[in-house]
């Protein structure tokens, strides 16, 4: 059940790293994987500790309210981030040549195939 939330999250973090200009190679994958696993483990350690102290201090009702507010804040931030990023996506471009491999750029349904120096667009 946890894997259903971790795999898309890791993919999103990796895509974010590539969007800010990090090269697409094993070094980038290693750095992103290391940060992701370190922060996940930190959350698994600090979450129960801080949550338990909060519930001991303020009670279960306020602890549940605090978690609900954090989820609401996360949902709002995700929604506000999703609107501008979905509007600014680059078109999906596939480039094929005799010497290059298939290259994918952007996120749209259009396809560009390079053959003998001539571009062909395919939807």
Q: What is the pLDDT of residues 30-63, one digit of tens each?
A: 999 999 999 989 999 998 999 899 899 999 999 8
Based on the domain organization, do 8 and 59 belong to the same domain? yes
Based on the domain organization, do 61 and 100 belong to the same domain? no
* Number of domains, the chain: 2
Both tokens of 22, joined, read: 């990090």
Q: Say how far apart CA 13 and CA 27 lie, in whole Å.
A: 14
Based on the domain organization, do 17 and 70 belong to the same domain? yes
Based on the domain organization, do 98 and 82 belong to the same domain? no
Based on the domain organization, do 84 and 115 belong to the same domain? no
Q: What is the pTM of this model?
A: 0.53
Based on the domain organization, do 21 and 48 belong to the same domain? yes
Based on the domain organization, do 68 and 96 belong to the same domain? no
Based on the domain organization, do 81 and 110 belong to the same domain? no
């Amino acid at each position: 059940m946890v894997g259903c939330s971790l795999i898309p999250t890791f993919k999103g973090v990796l895509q974010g790293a590539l969007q800010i200009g990090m090269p697409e190679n094993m070094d980038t994958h290693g750095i992103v994987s290391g940060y992701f696993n370190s922060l996940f483990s930190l959350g698994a350690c600090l979450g129960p500790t801080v949550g338990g102290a909060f519930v001991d201090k303020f009670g279960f009702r306020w602890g549940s309210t605090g978690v609900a507010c954090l989820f609401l804040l996360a949902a709002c931030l995700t929604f506000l981030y999703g609107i501008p990023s979905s509007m600014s996506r680059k078109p999906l471009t596939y480039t094929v040549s005799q010497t290059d491999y298939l290259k994918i750029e952007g996120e749209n349904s259009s396809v560009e195939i390079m053959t003998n120096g001539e571009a062909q667009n395919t939807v």
